[in-house]
Homo-oligomer: A and B are copies of this chain.
Amino acid sequence: MPRYVDKEERRRHVAAALHRIAAREGLESVSIRTVAAEAGLSVGAVQRDFGTKDELLRFALREMLANVERRFSEIRVGPGGLSFAEGLRRVLTDLLPTDDERLAEARVWSAFYARAAVDAGFADTLAELDARARAALRSAVGWAGEQGELAPGQDPDALVELLLVLVDGIWLSAVRQPPGASLDAQRAAVAAAVAAVTVEGGREARRG
């Protein structure tokens, strides 16, 4: 075969170009042509790598989800790791638009999210992510319960569902902020969420 190139690497390069356009101008400005130009490729090259625009979008969605999941998988809650409260705080804080990259990510997320409303394939992919997040949260909340970290009167399963919608809310709220706005409100929301759900210090607090 002539012209040895790393196909997967280039697919990721194209997906990154799509993410930049979606963050800057929205999904409506994403076309084969605009993406190819942003990636520095010709239309034909993008067509061969992805075949159809739908497959390009699907790949870009999965690529983004993989990035987010990889980041979150490094936040380990449990024995030998973080307390539940600290883990929760880190997850939520990590989503805040603290830099341009995070803001761009939130914008892309909002665009994909809206598309999931009318594209069953997108909705399915999001549902899979949801299932994994639910499982991880269930485990973390279970451990928090054992450690006495949960505020009294909380049903663990219901709490998991609350945290799931809370993550969406925090992440997406970045989208409506005017540029350069302060993050104080969102930081306050994170602090309030942690405060409402946990009892400070968990077992240690109850020991001391």
Q: CB within 8 Å of B: which residues of A? A: 23-28, 106-107, 110-111, 113-120, 123-124, 126-127, 130, 151, 153-155, 157-159, 161-162, 164-170, 172-173, 175-178, 185-186, 188-189, 191-193, 195-197, 200
In the complex, the count of this chain's copies comes to 2
Residue of B nearest to A196 (CB): B196
| Chain B neighbourhood of A164, CB < 8 A | 173, 185, 189
| Chain B neighbourhood of A110, CB < 8 A | 110, 113-114, 117
| Chain B neighbourhood of A126, CB < 8 A | 176
**Contact, CB under 8 Å: B116 / A176:** yes
**Which of B27, B115, B161, B172 lies in contact with A192, CB distance below 8 A?**
B161
Chain B CB within 10 Å, residue with most, of A154, A185, A196: A196
**Contact, CB under 8 Å: A161 / B189:** yes
| Chain B neighbourhood of A25, CB < 8 A | 118
* Given A169-B169, A191-B155, A161 and B185 contact (CB-CB distance below 8 Å): yes
Chain B CB within 10 Å, residue with most, of A28, A119, A161, A192: A192
* Given A113-B114, A117-B26, A189-B161, A176 and B127 contact (CB-CB distance below 8 Å): yes
| Chain B neighbourhood of A178, CB < 8 A | 120, 123-124, 127
